[in-house]
Amino acid sequence: MPTPTPLAQAARALAPYRQYLCEACGYVYDEAQGDPDGGLPPGTRYEDIPDDWACPLCGVTKADFRLYEAPDLSALRERADAVSVAARGGEPGVVIVGAGRAGWQTAEALRALSPTLPITLVSQCAGDVYDKPLLSVAMARGLDKHALVRERGADAAQRLGVRLLAHTQAIRICADTRTLRTTRGNLRYAHLVLAHGANARLPDGLAPELCWRVNHLVAYQRLRARLGDAPREVLIVGAGLIGSELANDLAIGGHRVTLIDTCEQPLARWQDLGVGEQLLDAWRDLSIRFVGGVQVQSLERVGDRYRLTTANGQRFAADEVVVAAGLHTPNRLALSAGLAWDNGIGVTPHNLRTSVDRIHALGDCIAIDGQPSRYIEPIARQARAIAADICGAAPAPYVPRAAVVRVKTTSMPLTLH
C-alpha cells in the first residue's frame, strides 16, 4: 500500500470518526474510542487496524467488519407503525422464546426480510439489549453496572415493531396446536424459535441460595451492588474462560480473589498451548490466589461470611462466592414439544430446524451432532439462516466453523483457536 501524502494524511486526521460493525456478533468499533485492551488507542482509524486484530467480543478479524451508519429514526418509526398495524390483524406470526442476543438478532434478521411479519419475543427479564461477554470484564474497563445496557428492551421492540412480553415465563410447547403456554396466557405461532440459552451449572455440594452465578445482566448488577465500594474477599469456583475473566476483573476492581478449579491450571482446555502458566504469571501483581486440583464438597454460611470445604479437607472463607463452572441447557421446553435432544436441542445445521415442524432453535441451547454452540460469533449467522428459512428468502445456510476465542483478561489478553 503506497504511503499517503502529507495532504492526504492531514485530510484523514480532520475527517469525522466512523464506526464499523462486526457482522459476526454486532459489536461496533468506534474510531473515536478505539480498543485499548486490544492495543488500539482512541482515534485509531479503521484503515490502521492490523489485519490480525480480533473483535473484543467474538474474536473474528477485521475482515468481518463493515462500515456502520446509524439507521434513520424516522424511517424506523414508519416501519414500526406499519408493523404494529399488521400485527393487530390476528396472524400468529413468529414467536421467539428468549430476548438475549440470539433472540434479538433473530428478530432483526426477520424484520430485515419482512417489514410486516408479526413477531413476538417472550423474555423472563426486561429484554434489555446488552453484550453478555462484557459482564466478566466490566470493572476492569471502568463500565458502570447500569451502563452495560445498549438499548432498553421496550425501545428495541418499538424500533423493530415487535411485541415484547417482558417478565414472562414460557411453560410448555403444544406442537400439535402450535401454541406456546406462558405465564401471561397462550400464544399461537406459525413459527417458533427457541433462543432461551443455557443456565450456569451448579456443582454438587453448592446450594443455589449461597452463591452467585453471573450468567445474565440482572445477576451481575446485583453482585456489583452487593460488593459495594469496599474491598471484599471473593471466592470463584471454576477457572475456565468466564471464571478467569471474572477473577481478573474483580481483582482490578480492588477485591481479593481466590480462584479454585478441579484442574491444575486455569484455562485447562488450552493446556497444550501453555496459556495457564502465562496467565498465572500475568496475575503475579494482582490479588488473585489460584488453587488447582480441588473438588468442592460443601458450602455453608458462617455468620456474615461463607465457608467452602473441598474433598481433601481444605477450607476457604469468603464474603461472596461466585460459581463459573460451565453451562447446562434446560430441557423442559424441548421435552414438552418432543424435540430431538443430543446434549442440547438437536438442529439441522444449514437451517437450524429442530425435529418438529415449524420450530427452529439457535444459540446456547442447541447442539449440532451433539456439540453445543456456546460462543457469540455463530449467533448472527444462525439468525440469518433461520430468518431466510422462515421467510422463504434466498437460503443463507449456516456452516459451523471452529471458534476463535478472545480471553478478555486485561492483564494478558489472549486470542485462542
pLDDT per position as a tens digit, 268-323: 988 888 889 999 999 999 999 999 999 999 999 999 999 999 999 999 999 999 99
What's at 256, amino acid-wise?
A: R
Decide: residue 272, CB within 10 A, 0-12 exposed, 13-18 middle, 19+ buried. Answer: exposed
Q: How many CA within 13 A on the CB side of residue 357?
A: 4
Is the pLDDT at 416 greater than 90? The verdict is no
CA end-to-end span of the chain: 29
pLDDT at 413: 67
pLDDT at 66: 85
pLDDT in tens, 374-387: 888 899 999 999 99
- The x, y and z cell numbers of residue 145, run together, are 453496572
pLDDT at 86: 41
Is the pLDDT at 8 greater than 80? The verdict is no
pLDDT in tens, 215-249: 888 889 999 999 988 999 999 999 998 999 999 99
For residue 180, the surrounding DSSP H or E stretch is strand 179-182
361-383 average pLDDT score: 93
For residue 66, the surrounding DSSP H or E stretch is strand 65-68
Is the pLDDT at 76 greater than 60? The verdict is no
Decide: residue 5, CB within 10 A, 0-12 exposed, 13-18 middle, 19+ buried. Answer: exposed
Average pLDDT for the chain: 88
**Whole-number Å distance between alpha carbons of 375 and 331:** 19
pLDDT at 216: 86
DSSP 1-31: -PPPPHHHHHHHHHSPP-EEEETTT--EEET
pLDDT at 186: 95
Please name every residue paired with 259 in a beta bridge, in sequence order, or none if there are none.
236, 290
Inter-residue contact 410 to 139 (CB < 8 Å): no
Q: What angle do CA 207, 209, 210 make, to 5 degrees?
A: 70
Is the pLDDT at 37 greater than 60? The verdict is yes
For residue 219, the surrounding DSSP H or E stretch is helix 217-227
- Quickly tell me which residue has 486455569 as its cell: 266
Residue 372 backbone phi and psi in degrees, to 5:
-65, 155
pLDDT at 11: 62
Is the pLDDT at 104 greater than 90? The verdict is yes
pLDDT at 4: 60
pLDDT at 84: 47
- The x, y and z cell numbers of residue 410, run together, are 486485561
Is the pLDDT at 82 greater than 60? The verdict is no
CB atoms inside a 10 Å sphere around CB 13: 9
103-113 average pLDDT score: 96
Q: Which residues contact 23 (CB under 8 A, 6 or more apart)?
A: 64, 65, 66, 380
- Of 299, 289, 136, give the one whose Cα is nearest residue 203: 299
8-state DSSP, 201: P
352-366 average pLDDT score: 97
